């Protein structure tokens, strides 16, 4: 479905494919992020280069950056400015270019093709969130870019689904200072001003294996982990009792014991046991202090079994983020979309980009479709999203 938009920068936009063609080209290129299965993991370079070409055609200055310590992953920054000011003020629109893997047996549509059916566009990344870049490009067809007085930036990041390395690297080295950042994750076009952090820890117990007929000659790692779990459940209750933020539907930090592995035979003393857990931290909680609290909680067991208990991060922790209610940029966005900002429990790249400018998460599609078989974006979001982006660009860049 293509909407009749006013095209003021005709020469530039005539070079662009149609909205649905852009959408389909983005979905067709696999950009899966996976550290558990290297065969599934893909570079995002082709998508980054394609986006760079499209924004170049519109007169943007583009920079492609290799993200260190990733598996051939890249960021793109595209900037449009009608003066020498390339960094101060204006707007940053941001999204990630990778997707999660897909469950082949559960998909009934081709994940690498946009399938239009029953007022839905199906495909891997249609909602989460490669499709957002198609919306940006389509919205620019209806804007006279030469009328902008402040810079407009487009950021496409790498590896959000695993490490968020792209956003972290960009935030560390960015020179620009926009007035507002919009991350186009699927929020049903409801502005999101805060979310919890994500901390995933691995707790490893190294016991002493031996024959089960003489338990005293060994140290059973499963039994030690039993003691660890008892302490973790005490910490879980402590977090619930002592930390609160009423902005969230679940107003306290949560803990989940997600995976446990240990042992190899019924007649063998378990020599190794591993637990993977997560904590969803409130925005005001310091991640290092949370790690210290975890270690302090487990210290009695560490002292009892010296050198046999180790606490690591599974992946780099993601802090929570919050854009305050009275932030001028947030208030402007709330007025433009006629919606009060909300909070969510899932994580995004906002903690990194919020270091650069007030950041709001706002995009088409529902978060309920993210990471699901037969992912889709409903066509009811198409026209409102384009109109919303045009309003936001006009407000912050003219």
User: What pairing do the DSSP bridges indicate for beta strands 268-269 and 309-313?
Assistant: unpaired
- Which of 96, 103, 101 is closest to 129 using CA atoms? 96
User: What pairing do the DSSP bridges indicate for beta strands 309-313 and 199-206?
Assistant: antiparallel
**45/83 Cα distance (integer angstroms):** 30
161 is catalytic: no
Hey, how many other C-beta atoms are within 10 angstroms of the C-beta on 277?
Answer: 21
**For 167, what's the count of Cα atoms within 13 Å in the CB-facing half-sphere?**
29
Tell me which of 25, 41, 98, 138 is the catalytic residue: 98
Are the C-beta atoms of residues 281 and 253 closer than 8 Å to each other?
Answer: yes
**Residue 238 Cα distances to 60, 165, 243, 253, 266, angstroms:** 51, 31, 8, 10, 35
pLDDT in tens, 45-61: 999 999 999 999 999 99
Output the six-digit token pair for 125: 């990344």
> pLDDT under 70 in the chain at which residues?
1-14
pLDDT on residue 1: 34
Kind plus residue range of the DSSP H or E element containing 264: none
pLDDT on residue 168: 97
pLDDT on residue 2: 34
116 is catalytic: no
**349/146 Cα distance (integer angstroms):** 30
User: What pairing do the DSSP bridges indicate for beta strands 180-183 and 359-361?
Assistant: parallel
pLDDT on residue 199: 96
Q: Return the DSSP state at 250.
A: S
Are the C-beta atoms of residues 47 and 27 closer than 8 Å to each other?
Answer: no
Tell me which of 160, 179, 185, 322 is the catalytic residue: 160
pLDDT on residue 3: 32
User: What pairing do the DSSP bridges indicate for beta strands 91-96 and 152-157?
Assistant: parallel
Are the C-beta atoms of residues 152 and 179 closer than 8 Å to each other?
Answer: no
Output the six-digit token pair for 396: 């912050």
**119/106 Cα distance (integer angstroms):** 21
**18/24 Cα distance (integer angstroms):** 10
Which residue segments constitute the domains of the chain, with CATH numbers given? 10-195+320-397 (3.40.630.10), 199-313 (3.30.70.360)
Query: The dihedral of CA 301, 306, 308, 314: what is its sign?
Result: positive
* Full DSSP string of 62-101: EEEEEPTTSSS-EEEEEEE-SSS-SSBSSEEEEEE--B--
Measured CA angle at 161 (ends 72, 250), to 5 deg: 160
Q: Considering the entire predicted model, what is its pTM?
A: 0.90
């Amino acid at each position: 479905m293509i909407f009749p938009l006013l095209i003021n920068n005709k020469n530039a936009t005539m070079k662009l494919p149609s909205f649905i063609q852009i959408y389909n080209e983005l979905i067709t290129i696999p950009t899966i992020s996976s550290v558990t299965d290297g065969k599934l993991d893909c570079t995002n370079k082709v998508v980054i280069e394609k986006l760079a070409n499209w924004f170049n055609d519109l007169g943007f200055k583009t920079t492609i950056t290799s993200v260190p310590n990733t598996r051939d992953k890249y960021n793109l920054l595209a900037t449009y400015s009608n003066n020498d000011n390339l960094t101060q003020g204006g707007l940053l629109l941001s999204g990630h270019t990778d997707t999660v893997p897909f469950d082949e047996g559960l998909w009934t549509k081709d994940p690498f093709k946009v399938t239009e059916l029953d007022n839905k566009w199906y495909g891997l990344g249609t909602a989460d969130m490669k499709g957002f870049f198609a919306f940006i490009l389509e919205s620019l067809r209806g804007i006279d870019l030469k009328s902008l007085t402040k810079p407009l930036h487009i950021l496409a990041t790498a590896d959000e689904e695993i490490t968020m390395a792209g956003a972290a690297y960009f935030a560390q080295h960015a020179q620009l200072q926009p007035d507002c950042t919009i991350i186009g994750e699927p929020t049903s076009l409801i502005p999101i001003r805060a979310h919890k952090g994500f901390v995933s820890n691995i707790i490893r117990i190294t016991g002493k294996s031996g024959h089960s007929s003489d338990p005293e000659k060994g140290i059973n790692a499963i039994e030690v982990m039993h003691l660890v779990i008892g302490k973790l459940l005490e910490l879980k209750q402590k977090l619930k009792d002592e930390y609160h933020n009423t902005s969230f539907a679940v107003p306290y930090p949560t803990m989940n014991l997600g995976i446990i592995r240990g042992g190899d035979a019924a007649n063998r003393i378990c020599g190794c046991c591993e637990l993977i857990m997560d904590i969803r931290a409130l925005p005001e909680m310091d991640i290092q202090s949370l790690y210290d609290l975890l270690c302090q909680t487990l210290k009695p067991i560490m002292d009892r079994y010296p050198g046999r208990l180790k606490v690591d991060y599974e992946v780099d922790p993601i802090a929570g983020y919050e854009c305050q209610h009275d932030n001028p940029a947030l208030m402007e966005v709330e007025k433009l979309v006629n919606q009060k900002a909300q909070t969510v429990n899932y994580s995004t790249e906002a903690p990194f980009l919020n270091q650069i400018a007030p950041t709001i998460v706002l995009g088409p599609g529902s978060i309920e479709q993210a990471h699901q078989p037969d992912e889709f974006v409903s066509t009811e979001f198409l026209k409102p999203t384009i109109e919303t982006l045009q309003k936001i660009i006009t407000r912050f860049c003219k």
